[in-house]
Amino acid sequence: MLQYLWIFIIFFIGGKFMLALITGASSGLGIEFARLLAVNGYDLIISARRKDRLESVKKVLEKKYKINVEVFPADLSKVSEVEKLAEHCYKNDIDVLINNAGFGILKAFHNISNEENTDLINTNITALTLLSKEFIKTQKRGYILNVASIAAFLPGPLLSTYYASKAYVLSLSAAINEELKHSGKSISVTTLCPGPMKTEFFTRAGASKEFATATPRACAKRALRAMFRRKPVVFSDNLIALAAFGTKFLPFNLLTKISYRIQRSKFM
């Protein structure tokens, strides 16, 4: 338990009741965020599309960590459901907001249906934007963790809308974080840029093969540590951090060609 000491110190100074809202909490990184916060005494509001999975997470966390977990099923591709989630949650004092919900579509851009594109944009961009804005408007202090991707640093042929959405998340989060430094509010925004991990992302995106550079658990630990230190950007591991740094030195056209080859290999 010594590895969690850094969290305990931050969480319990002042002995304040703590509450976190996590979207995309039914699998992958979302579950790891929930578990790490629960082990340190946070009560949780967890949201995702699949109520049955959320109920399973709730049951395990409440039994093991003796905390309260509220389940709020929502399809964040529907703006009305995002607004209901915000209205419900921000009546409380929320200390941590983790915008983790998101997905990709592995197809040529012209083969993605209008409905698929709209759902992706609403989930990856609109929901994150609205939830972040309402958090800042209604809360006096706290932390926002927005999950982007290494994809934010380069174009993504065959995952075009997904890559573009993550570039938006990185840019928006950095801008908001700078604004908040001059606002007088004790709120910070950290952007997590993970690389490939063993989650359901590749399967949902339509890939037939995958690879990983980090585990969701290790990535979540690293992300929360950076968030509570109010760092603006954090990567899932050192290899991905190096890759992001390397994109600064390669021509844009070359990055695009490399990205295309990587995405095309996932069809094989």
Residues involved in catalysis: 162
Cα separation, 127 vs 168, in Å, equals 13
- Residue among 197, 182, 99 at smallest CA distance from 148: 99
For 26, list phi and psi in degrees, rounded to 5.
-95, -5
- 3-class state of residue 19 by DSSP: strand
Q: Answer for the pair 50, 24: CB distance below 8 angstroms, yes or no.
A: no
**Residue 178: C-alpha distances to residues 18, 184, 185 (Å):** 25, 12, 12
| Cα-based angle 37, 39, 45 (whole degrees, multiple of 5) | 40
| Cα-based angle 112, 117, 121 (whole degrees, multiple of 5) | 155
